[in-house]
Amino acid sequence: MSAPVLNFSRDEYADRLARTRKAMEATGVDVIIVSDPSNMAWLTGYDGWSFYVHQCVVVGPDGDPVWFGRGQDANGARRTSYLGDSTIIGYADHYVQSTERHPMDYLAAKIEERGWGAKRIGVEMDNYWFSAAAFASLQKHLPNARFSDVTALVNWQRAVKSPQELDYMRKAARLVERMHETITDKCEVGYRKCDLVADIYEAGLRYDEDLGFGGDYPAIVPLLPSGADASAPHLTWDDQPMKSGEGTFFEIAGVYKRYHCPLSRTLFLGKPTQTFIDAEKAVLEGMEAGLEAARAGNLCEDIAIAFFQVLNKYGITKDNRTGYPIGLSYPPDWGERTMSLRPGDKTVLEENMTFHFMTGLWMEDWGFEITESIVIGKTGPECLANVPRRMFVKD
């Protein structure tokens, strides 16, 4: 089998592993079981749609990490990661969705074989991919281990992006620009939403000869509720025609090699109401204030406070956070699940951290989104995508 083509250099992977082990030492664990597929990919390069079954990367006290997953996915680990056969463990298919045995039974035996059965073991207790049954199995079959919660330990190591990661996110930005251009070109009264979503996917995925690359699938499907449905931030689409007199926000992301650049814009078909005109004015002014605070050395809450102060001036209340870190992601979420741009989060902003500055408003019977994905800089942010920052209007 030919060697895989890695998305990052072996030196970069080695640096990631070293930073992770330093964080493990500070947390007081010897071994971590990493079930978050984004963390698995960041540590090893593994990239496959196999997170619907139990899988993980185990980082021990030394040596390469160990990939653990369904046996039929082991070749995927060989094709996408830098790991060798001695650190790739596949379990038999009779473990899959069995009522008699659990894949973590098998992992526990392999951990014992490596002499880690009495170690201090960290697990990601609070994420989408690690179940109560998985934890119960590990506790049962590793009775001498001392378990602790290391949720987000690896996520935090991903916060500051490398030059290569930023390059991938800038490529994702070129794709989301093309997606929004498609929306403004195609969206009109009578055009069915399902057809518009098909156009959005094509724009985000199809190879572009001028760009020299094509896109990857997003961790979240396109969100495009209209009218009163836009009061809810996470509705998707139907097969009904677009209507005049309604505003629709489009929350989408360009994706390249699993790196995301989310971006939202609002489009109004017909003459915008005064409510939408006022919302646009407040959000754009608030965004400028927030972006001014988005510089290294400030705090996460500084961006949020600057934005919320402007909203308050216009009598608008937003009772949810206004942003989160982004980068490498798998379904069901393109956020990194660490920091939040909200009052009270005093995390210090560092150069080359990346955020989705989510300034969305979801009110009683309408919604409005104009957002930016940003890179924190020394003197101010870089906005990754170049899409006009305004409400789009079409007759």
Structural domains in the chain plus CATH codes: 10-157 (3.40.350.10), 163-394 (3.90.230.10)
157 three-class SS: helix
Among positive and negative, which fits the CA dihedral 38, 40, 41, 43? positive
What pLDDT is recorded for position 356?
98
The whole-number pLDDT of residue 2 equals 83
Looking at residue 1, its pLDDT comes to: 74
Enumerate long-range contacts of 221-227, CB under 8 Å, 24 or more apart: 222/197, 222/250, 222/251, 222/252, 223/249, 223/250, 223/251, 223/252, 224/193, 224/196, 224/197, 224/248, 224/249, 224/250, 224/251, 225/249, 225/367, 226/193, 227/365, 227/366
pLDDT for 372: 98
How confident is the model at residue 166, as a pLDDT?
98
Compute how many other C-beta atoms are within 10 angstroms of the C-beta atom of residue 67: 26
**Block means of pLDDT (10 residues each) for the chain, length 395 residues?**
92 98 98 98 98 98 98 98 98 97 98 98 97 98 98 98 98 98 98 98 97 98 98 97 98 98 98 98 98 98 98 96 98 98 98 98 97 97 98 96
Alpha-carbon span 394 to 100, nearest angstrom: 59
Query: Which phi and psi (to 5°) does residue 267 adopt?
Result: -125, 130
Backbone torsions φ then ψ of 229, nearest 5 degrees: -60, -25
Supply angle C-alpha 350, 330, 359, rounded to 5: 55
Separation between Cα atoms, residue 170 and residue 195, nearest integer Å: 27
Confirm whether pTM is higher than 0.95: yes
- pLDDT computed for residue 3 by the predictor: 87
